[in-house]
Every structure is written in C-alpha cells, then in structure tokens.
Amino acid sequence: MAARALINVPPKARRGEIISIRALISHEMETGFRPNATGQLIPRNIIKEFVCTYNGVEIFRAELFPAVSANPYIAFTTRATESGTITMTWTGDNGFSATESVAIAVE
C-alpha cells in the first residue's frame, strides 16, 4: 500500500529565518496491544523512525513508539540556511518506507 504523505515547507524563506516544517503520513500505527474479534493480538505495524534532511544533512530525527497516533503528524522548526531540498523519510515495520522531498528557495 502506497502511503500518502503530506509535507508543508514554505517555498521561500530569508536566510537565517526559522521556518516551520509539518509532516503528515497515512499509516494505521497498529499498536500490537489490541485484540481482534477472536481475541488474538493484532500484530504490531508502526512507523519506527522519521528523519528529515536538509541538503543531505540531518536536521531532525524522531523515534516513534506505538503511543503515537495513527497517521503520524510531526511539526518542528529549522533555520533556512541555503536553497536546496528538504527530504523526509519514514521507515517502519514490515519493510515500510516512504520518502518525500520539497524544494526551498532561500534568498
């Protein structure tokens, strides 16, 4: 299943400005603690890691546990240093992986 990811980064920023980055991805984040109709636990299926890089340099990383809500939403800040690409990668159980990139122009 292809995951739908929504990322929000301002397309333009002044050099040195603190910008807000928001990332949302569709994922059930099955906790592994819930029983199904027959009483067996539904196996865990979560996103375990979120990494954001700015022109290849890591600026933010999150380790996620089952207590993060379904469709994980993460908002954070970074300083706009140079024009380039901001890339976000989510990885998780069952080989889950999703990547989104967005360009930012810094003047």
Partner 1 sequence: MAEPIPVETTRRRFLIGATGLAGGMALVTMLPPGRAAATPEATRTAIKAVVGSAPLRKGRIKMELPPLVENGNAVPLQITAESPMTDADHVKAIHVFTEKNPQPNVVSFQIGPRAGTVNISTRMRLADTQIVTAIAEMSDGTFWSDEVEVVVTLAACLEEI
Task: Read off the tokens for 70.
Answer: 């379904």
66 binds partner 1 (CB under 8 A): yes
64 binds partner 1 (CB under 8 A): yes
Task: Tell the smallest beta-carbon distance from residue 66 to partner 1 (Å).
Answer: 6
Tokens 């954001």 sit on residue: 52
Contact at 8 Å (CB) between 80 and 16?
yes
Tokens 């980055």 sit on residue: 21
Tokens 């890591």 sit on residue: 58
Q: Which listed residue (13, 72, 88, 98) binds partner 1 by CB under 8 A?
A: 72
Q: Which listed residue (5, 7, 62, 106) binds partner 1 by CB under 8 A?
A: 62
Distance (Å, rounded) from C-alpha 83 to C-alpha 106? 5
Strand partners, 54: 57, 86
In degrees and rounded to multiples of 5, residue 56 shows phi and psi of 85, -10
84 binds partner 1 (CB under 8 A): no
Binding-site size for partner 1 (CB under 8 A) equals: 31
75 binds partner 1 (CB under 8 A): yes
Task: Tell the smallest beta-carbon distance from residue 105 to partner 1 (Å).
Answer: 18
Q: Which residues bind partner 1 (CB under 8 A)?
A: 18, 20, 31, 33-37, 54, 57, 59-70, 72-79, 81
